[in-house]
Amino acid sequence: MAQGFFLLFAAVSVITALMLVLARNPVHSALALMACFLQISAIFVLLDAPLLAVIQIFVYVGAIMVLFLFVIMMIDVREAVAERFLPSGNLPAMALLGLLGVEMMVLVFWSDRFSLAAPVASRGGDQIRDLSTTLFSDYLLPFEVASVILLAALVGAIVLARKESG
């Protein structure tokens, strides 16, 4: 059952990821990426991480993709639609990509750490409570640093996108 769901979500996410890369129109790319994020959040549910799935939908689909679509609406993408898809002279990049994929797959099949068939015995208990306790005790400093980074990004985005006022 879980395997069937995983195969379904994985297949759709790979297909939508390919559509993201292959689509000529950036709007189609953005919509394909949105579908891909939804599939990935379903995979997070399969991995027993419902909190992460909800965060994924809120942040990626709700915030980031809407931001992308707003920017696409603001700028003129007609010129981009007419571009040639694959410019010449990208053979080294293709070779590099093939090498990268083959290398990662070989490493995955080589190591016996990846062949785990089922999760090791879970501690049980309230997962989200434990997660938040860990996050706000052991990882409090990284959490605060992340909030400062978000503030800096907020200020930076406003300054960058502002019209030059002379």
Partner 1 sequence: MVPLWWYIALGVVLFVIGAAGVLLRRNILVVLMSLELLLNSVNINFIAFGHYYDDFRGRIFAIFVIAITAAEVAVALGILVALVRNKSTLKVDDVTMMKG
Alpha helices in the chain (DSSP H): 2-22, 26-46, 50-55, 65-74, 78-81, 91-110, 127-137, 140-161
Taking CA atoms, 52 is separated from 47, 62, 158, in Å, by: 10, 14, 28
Establish if 150 lies at the interface with partner 1 (CB under 8 A).
yes
Q: Which of 8, 54, 134, 144 binds partner 1 (CB under 8 A)?
A: 134
State which of positions 39-68 bind partner 1 (CB under 8 A).
Answer: 40, 43-44, 46-49, 51-52, 55-56, 59-60, 63-64, 67-68
Q: Which of 8, 54, 73, 108 binds partner 1 (CB under 8 A)?
A: 108
3-state secondary structure of 135: helix
Q: Which of 8, 54, 73, 109 binds partner 1 (CB under 8 A)?
A: 109
Burial status of residue 94 (CB atoms within 10 A of its CB: 0-12, 13-18, 19 or more): exposed
State which of positions 83-102 bind partner 1 (CB under 8 A).
Answer: 83, 86-87, 90, 93-94, 96-97, 100-101
Q: How many residues bind partner 1 (CB under 8 A)?
A: 82
